[in-house]
Structure 1
Amino acid sequence: MNILLLSEYILMAALAIFAVATIRITTRKTIAMGLVGVGGLSISVATLLILVNNIYGLQFCRDIATALVFLGPVGTIAFAKVLRGD
């Protein structure tokens, strides 16, 4: 096993722990903490999907990760505008 593959597996484990932490942040009572948690979760899932693409060669993971990265901030901005009342 080469060192790059080992480091990718370690990064995947760290991202899984980060995803669990952001889920815990998302379940807080305030809306702001929910938005922060969902933003962090989408970043961790997108990075995890890119790693799966590199390790296993599944090309659709890259497309899903790109959509998550682009649509995550758009959804956050739209939700903030609805809450503000504009």
Structure 2
Amino acid sequence: MEIFLFSQYVFIIALIIFLFAAVRMTTQGTIAMGLIGCATFSLSMSLFLLTYGNIYSIEFYKDIALALILLGVVGTIAFAIALRRT
């Protein structure tokens, strides 16, 4: 069981690095890179919440992560449609 806990901690560290990369992509000059950065940030944050909730047995993190995933996808699609119209 300890190897599983260790792998979750390594996964959290990798997600934190990925969050920094997503913030870097969001702050790029083009709108498309900003859209990709926001989508990757919401995905990595939801994975972080799921892993953190699994480690400490907190159930409501699953609900928050699910809402973040669903709203992130809907927001990304809506922004892409609005961007295509202009």
Task: Classify the TM-score, shorter chain.
Answer: over 0.9
1:14 Cα deviation from its structure 2 partner: 0.4
- Equivalent residue pairs, number: 86
- 1:2 is aligned to 2
Tell me the TM-score normalised to structure 1 length: 0.92
Q: Is 1:23–2:26 an aligned residue pair?
A: no
Question: C-alpha separation between the residues in 2 aligned to 1:11 and 1:4?
Answer: 10
The AA in structure 2 aligned to 1:71 is: L
Tell me the TM-score normalised to structure 2 length: 0.92
1:69 Cα deviation from its structure 2 partner: 1.1
| Identity value in percent | 50
Gaps (5+ residues) in structure 1?
none
Cα RMSD after superposing both structures: 1.4
Question: C-alpha separation between the residues in 2 aligned to 1:74 and 1:25?
Answer: 20
1:37 Cα deviation from its structure 2 partner: 0.5
Farther off after superposition, 52-61 or 22-31: 52-61
- 1:43 is aligned to 43
Question: C-alpha separation between the residues in 2 aligned to 1:61 and 1:31?
Answer: 31
1:30 Cα deviation from its structure 2 partner: 0.5
Question: C-alpha separation between the residues in 2 aligned to 1:85 and 1:43?
Answer: 26
1:83 Cα deviation from its structure 2 partner: 2.1
Question: C-alpha separation between the residues in 2 aligned to 1:57 and 1:21?
Answer: 28
